[in-house]
Chain A
Amino acid sequence: QKEVEQNSGPLSVPEGAIASLNCTYSDRGSQSFFWYRQYSGKSPELIMSIYSNGDKEDGRFTAQLNKASQYVSLLIRDSQPSDSATYLCAVNMRSDYKLSFGAGTTVTVRA
């Protein structure tokens, strides 16, 4: 079983729609969860971090965490063409300081 798994893409959404990205993780003791955005040919950019169960909103982005289900998600509201990128879910497991990443979900927002 992979440590971090993301829903397979690519995901294509029309401009203005909601893009929903999902991620599951294997270690129940995981403490910290992150979403990174990576444009083609660029490095990952941290867009959201979440540490407690529930929702966390930042602009058009909402991260949701459910530790009991070992599930974290990212919603992108009012999707824009500039949101077209690969989104990486990263998990910090227990007291390890490393981040374990999923393979990423590629999102394409069509105008």
Chain B
Amino acid sequence: DAGVTQSPTHLIKTRGQHVTLRCSPISGHKSVSWYQQVLGQGPQFIFQYYEKEERGRGNFPDRFSARQFPNYSSELNVNALLLGDSALYLCASSLGGSGSYEQYFGPGTRLTVT
């Protein structure tokens, strides 16, 4: 079975621009979470979606938004990019039901803001 897929793999943007990152979960998984990982730190939680509804949001500004589609894929949008948004953006897939907390990560999108 295919794992979690993310696109694009790498992205270079300029300050002030907008970016959209995409994620497809493992087949049968209904929950998608987004994390930001900067060098030398563990991933930081941004959002979680389950059955197209936002189930949790981390401590990120409103410039960050996300959504989940009927096929359970997801998009993460970041507006007005700042240099500090440069990071590895990770999508994690999980079954989503009660008690199923194991999350499996995709390969990530490396975002560089110049």
Contacts and interface: CB of A to CB of B under 8 A. Distances in A.
A24 B83 CA distance: 32
A43 B101 contact: no
Prevailing SS type, chain A contact patch: strand
B90 A43 contact: yes
Nearest to A98: B45
Contact of A43 (B44, B45, B48, B106): B106
B56 A49 contact: no
Interface size on B, as a range, is 20 to 34
Contacts of A102: 42
A102 B88 CA distance: 16
Interface in A22-71: 31-32, 34, 36, 42-46, 49
Contacts of A97: 31, 33, 48, 50, 55-56, 94, 101
